[in-house]
Amino acid sequence: MARKKTTETTENFIQEQPITQTLELNYMPYAMSVIVSRAIPEIDGFKPSHRKLLYTMYLMNLLKGDRTKSSNVVGQTMKLNPHGDGAIYETLVRLTEGNGALLVPFVDSKGNFGKQYSKDMAYAAPRYTEVKLAAICSEIFGDIEKNTVDFIDNYDGTIKEPSLLPTTFPNILANPNLGIAVGMASSICSFNLSELCEATIQYIKDASIDLCDHLPAPDFSTGGELIYNRKGLEQIYKTGRGSFKLRAKYHFDQKNSCIEIYEIPYTTNIESIIDKVLALAKSGKIRDITDIRDETDLNGLKITLDIKRNTNPQLLMHKLFSLTPLSDSFSCNFNVLIQGRPMTLGVGEILKYWVAFRMGSIRRQLAFDIGKKEEKFHLLMGLSKILLDIDKAISIIRNTEQESMVVPNLMQGFEIDQIQGEYIAEIKLRNINKEYILRRTEELKTLADEIETLKDTLKSDGKIRNIICKQLKSVQKKYGKPRKTEIVQEDAVITITKDDLIEDYGIRLFLTAENYFKKIPLASLRSAGEQKLKEEDKILYELEATNRSEILFFSDQCNVYKMKAYDIPDTKASILGEYLPNLLGMEADERILYMTATTDYSGFLVFFFENGKAAKVQLSAYATKMNRRKLVNAYSARAKLIYMEKLEEEADFLLLRDQDKATLLNSEMIPFNVSKNASGIQVYTLKKNSFVSAVYKPEAFHSDEIAYYRTKKIPTTGHFIQEKDKAANGFHLQQTLDTNV
C-alpha cells in the first residue's frame, strides 16, 4: 500500500508542460525582473542598488554629517536591499571617489577602495573604510521631501523608498553605466558635467540644435585620449549605438630612456596591458622593450617601459596602440528604462525624457509648496478674524466649561472652520496680544503673492524650463571641472600600416637540397657556429633579406609559394629548420628548386630551359592583391627548367650544349614576356637529340678567353669548348642541376 501511495504522489507532482508555457510562466518573470529591477538604469541615472544605497545614506544624515564606517552603511542598506552585504559593499565601492570609477563620484570616502584601472588592487574590508555622501548629492536629493518623486514600499513593506531620485542634472549621462540583463545590455559612456549642463541648457532652449557643437565628446575618470570622429559621434548622439576609440597618454623620459604611461583607456586595466606587452616581447614581435614595471603609487597610475637607446618612442607607442589594450574601443548601447520599459535612445532623446521627468518633479514640488502655503494662509485668515475682538476670543475660552467645546465655540463665535479653530486654540497665552496677531496676519499679503506666483509658474512650461536651466547653471558653477579625457582629431593621429607593426631586422635565408629552410637573424648569425644539416644534405641557396621581405619558393611542378618572412619563426644555426612541405603545404613529391626574397617586387627573373629557350619575366607578375599563398603556372612546363635567377639588372650567362659547345649571352637580348608561364624565345639552336646541359655565371667558368664564346645575336649555334677550358673546368660537367636548379 505504501508503494502505491508513493507512485500516486510522484504522478501528481510530475506534469508535462509545453516549453513555451514553461518559458512564459517561469523564465519571463525572472528576465523581466533582471531588466526592470537590476541591470538597466532609469532616467535618473541609477540602478535600484545604487538608489537604495544612496537613499539609505541620506536617511543616515551622511549628506551633512561626518563620515561613518562603511559596514554601518552596508548594514543599514539591507533594510532596502536584501541581496547581501558583499553585493552592497561592491556597489558602494564603485560609487566612491577613492575607486575612481565615476566621473562624478557620489560618495566621499576615506581608506582603500581599490582602483578602477587595476583588477588586482583589492579594496579594504568595510570595517576599515569610512564614507559619507559627496556634496553633489544635495543635487541628487534636492526637495525629495516635497513629494517630487513617488515612494514605494521596500521588500517587506516596513519602510518607504523613492522609485526615482529627483536629480537636478542629467546624471544618466554624467557617469558611465554598464549593465548586462537577460537578452539585452546597457553601456552608457560619461560626459563632462560642465559640458553636459551647458548642452542641456541649449537643448531646452532649442531642441533642434546639433549636440556635437555643444557636447564635444565623452569624458572619463581615467583620462586618456579620445580619437575624435564627428560622424561616429553623431551616430551615437542620434541612435544611442556606436563606438569610439580611446588610447593612453604617455611621455618619453629621454634621460632614462623610458616611456611613462600615466593615463589609460577606461575600458582596460594595468594588468591586461602589462600581460599583453610581455607576451609581445616574449614572442619577438616587439624587440625594443627591455623591461616593464608597474610603478603606480599614491601619486597615481604609472606604467614604465624601459626601451633601447636607438628606439623611436613614438613609433613604438603606435605599435603598442595597435597591438595592446593601450588603445581600446568603447561600445555604446544606450539602453534606459523609461517608465518601466527598456528603450534604446540617443543623447537627444535621453535629454528629452530627462527634461520631461524633471519638469514633472518641479511641478510636484510647486504643487507641494502651494499646498503648504495655502494651509498657512488659511490658518492666518482665521487668526486675522480674532484680531477684530481679542477680548471676545479670550472670553469664549474662559467661559467654556468643557475643554472639548473650546474649538466649537470659537468656530461659532468667529465663523471659522475646525482647522482654524484648532490653530487659534493652540496659541500660547503670551501670544494672545494685538502685536503678535498683527505681525502674523501681515504675512497674508506676502503669502497671497507667493501663492499666485507659484500657481503662475505651475501653469507655465516656459517658467519651469527656466527653473531647470537656472539649476543647471548652478550645478555647472559649483561642481563643473575641466574635462579629463583629451580630444585628439582623427586626422592628427599617425596612421600605422601593417608593415610598421612588423619588427624589421636583417636575416639570412638558407635552402637545402632536402627541402629544409632556415631564417636566421644576422645578429645571432654572427656568433653562430657551423650550420646543422641532415646527413648528406647540403645548402643550395643562401641570401640576405629583411624581416619584412616576402619570400618566393619556386618548385619543380611550376608552382610558386609565397610567405612573409615575419610569418616564419626565427631559428638558429644549431637547428635543422623548417621542413618546407609542411610549412608551405606542398604537393606530394614536390621539390623546391629556387628561392628569392623581395620587399617591392622590383627586378625580374630569367629562365633557361633544356630545349634552348629562355624567358624573362618581371617579378611584379608574381605580386597579388589578395595575399595568395600559392600561384600555379609560375613558369613554362613545356621543357625542363635548367636554370633560373632573379636579377636587378641585366647580366651575362654562359650556356653549355651537350657538354661540347658553349655560348655567352647577355640577358638584355631576351625580351620580356607578358605571361609568366610563356615558353620564351629560342636563344640556342640545337640539333636533334641535343639539349642545354648547364648554365653558368661567367665568373664560375674558368677561361682566359671568355669573350670567345660571346654571341651578338640570338638564336646562336654556340662555339666548341676549347680543350684548355675543358681541362681548366674539369669537364665531366655532371653538375647540371647542382649548378643551379
Active site residues per annotation? 128
Distance, in Å, from the CA atom of 535 to the CA atom of 215, rounded to the nearest integer, reads 73
CA distances from 694 to 127, 346, 680, 741 (A): 89, 75, 17, 10
**DSSP 8-state symbol, 36:** I
Distance, in Å, from the CA atom of 115 to the CA atom of 285, rounded to the nearest integer, reads 31
Distance, in Å, from the CA atom of 142 to the CA atom of 131, rounded to the nearest integer, reads 20
195: left (phi over 0), alpha (psi -120 to 50) or beta: alpha
Phi, psi of 300 (to 5 degrees): 125, -175
Q: Could you write out the DSSP letters of every residue in 556-623?
A: TTS-EEEEEGGGSPP--TTS--EEHHHHHTPPTT--EEEEEEESS--SEEEEEETTSEEEEEEGGGG-
Q: Which of 502, 509, 548 is nearest to 525 (CA)?
A: 509
Residue with cell string 577606461: 266
CA distances from 213 to 395, 466, 724 (A): 73, 22, 89
Q: Is the dihedral of CA 113, 115, 120, 121 positive or negative?
A: negative
Contact 193, 214 (CB under 8 A): no
Q: How many helices (H) and strands (E) does the chain have?
A: 23, 33
CA distances from 561 to 520, 564, 622, 639 (A): 20, 10, 10, 21
- Strands 130-133, 68-69: pairing is antiparallel
**DSSP 8-state symbol, 209:** S
Sequence-distant (≥ 6) Cβ neighbours of residue 334 within 8 angstroms: 186, 187, 188, 236, 240, 241, 344, 345, 346, 347, 350
Distance, in Å, from the CA atom of 311 to the CA atom of 289, rounded to the nearest integer, reads 9
Q: Could you write out the DSSP letters of every residue in 300-312?
A: B--EEEEE-TT--
Sequence-distant (≥ 6) Cβ neighbours of residue 156 within 8 angstroms: none
Q: Which of 564, 552, 568 is nearest to 519 (CA)?
A: 568
Distance, in Å, from the CA atom of 454 to the CA atom of 450, rounded to the nearest integer, reads 6
Q: Which of 486, 168, 496 is nearest to 323 (CA)?
A: 496
Contact 647, 619 (CB under 8 A): no
Contact 645, 606 (CB under 8 A): yes
Q: Which of 145, 75, 62, 68 is nearest to 106 (CA)?
A: 62
What cell numbers appear for 555 in the block?
A: 618548385
What cell numbers appear for 203 in the block?
A: 537643448
What cell numbers appear for 421 in the block?
A: 479653530
What stretches of 415-529 adopt beta strand conformation (E)? 486-489, 506-512, 516-521
Phi, psi of 488 (to 5 degrees): -120, 125
